[in-house]
Structure 1
Amino acid sequence: MPKISPELLSVLRCPVTGSPLLQEGEELVTTVDGPSGEKLRYAIEDGIPLLLPPELLPAAAAAPAFQHDAGRPAAG
């Protein structure tokens, strides 16, 4: 399980509640309850926190990989 550095955790915030996040295993968890009354959880994949609000996860998963890099300039 990759551990998120304390320095990074100190600046990360939940995109929904704005609260600090704590690492629990392979997830980051909010310190404040979300709109549904439960703590929100965000996956960590390959050491990278995926801080998408839960309602955007299906759209992000369905997007082709080339769309994720559309805003980046070509390497040259």
Structure 2
Amino acid sequence: MDAPAKNVLPRVTICTVTLNREKVIKEALRSMLSQTYPKDKVSVIIVDGGSSDSTVETCRSMLQGTGLASYEIIVQKSTIP
């Protein structure tokens, strides 16, 4: 079976929530960015609960310039696990 043409592939959105998980989010983003799905068909949403470590900065530096369709990092302080 032939691979579908790039323009036929759907756009996908990957969402994740995080709080003070710089090392874990780094590995998750590396894994996501290593996929072969066309980056211009992928959007990423990171929701951070108000991390006190470098989680948000790590996400921003890893996602900028990657060719993703879009990415958004939402920081909303939360105590809900």
TM-score, normalised via structure 2 length: 0.23
Identify which of structures 1 and 2 has the higher relative contact order when contacts are C-alpha pairs closer than 8 Å and 6+ apart.
2
TM-score, normalised via structure 1 length: 0.24
